[in-house]
Structure 1
């Protein structure tokens, strides 16, 4: 009986002393901080400023309008825009890196 009571107390202590999982990594930039409600169906979705992020991403591109349009499509579909003006595409995952144009070229800048 005492062993069972000790086991119950140990389980309760483990449950109470749970480590928080939302600890931010130092220096990490999170573009998905804002959460908004999707109308009346109470489903939560992440809000991204695709236009602003793509404008920064394509600011040094040789064809900024074309780049911004492609980046906007990728941002809306993949919910991600890599940091910087070029490179870092792998940070957005396979959705961003594997998207192709009709000519079988990479779509996302």
Structure 2
């Protein structure tokens, strides 16, 4: 197989796995935060703020994976 084809394959798989992982992580985060807010409604504001920060961190990791995949495509 040609090196460029392997780079395209790796970039596609990497981007897909990163997107799936980020989606699962944010879904789990949202589920847990809704559960916590339902159990303790007076802390819902704090839980929401922590959820937004955590979701941004998860998306940051997915963005780094996307950048690495783009580097694989354009440097191959």
State TM-score, norm by structure 2: 0.34
State TM-score, norm by structure 1: 0.26
Name the structure, 1 or 2, with higher relative contact order (CA <8 Å, separation 6+). Answer: 2
Give the number of the structure whose alpha-carbon radius of gyration is greater: 1
Higher helix share: 2
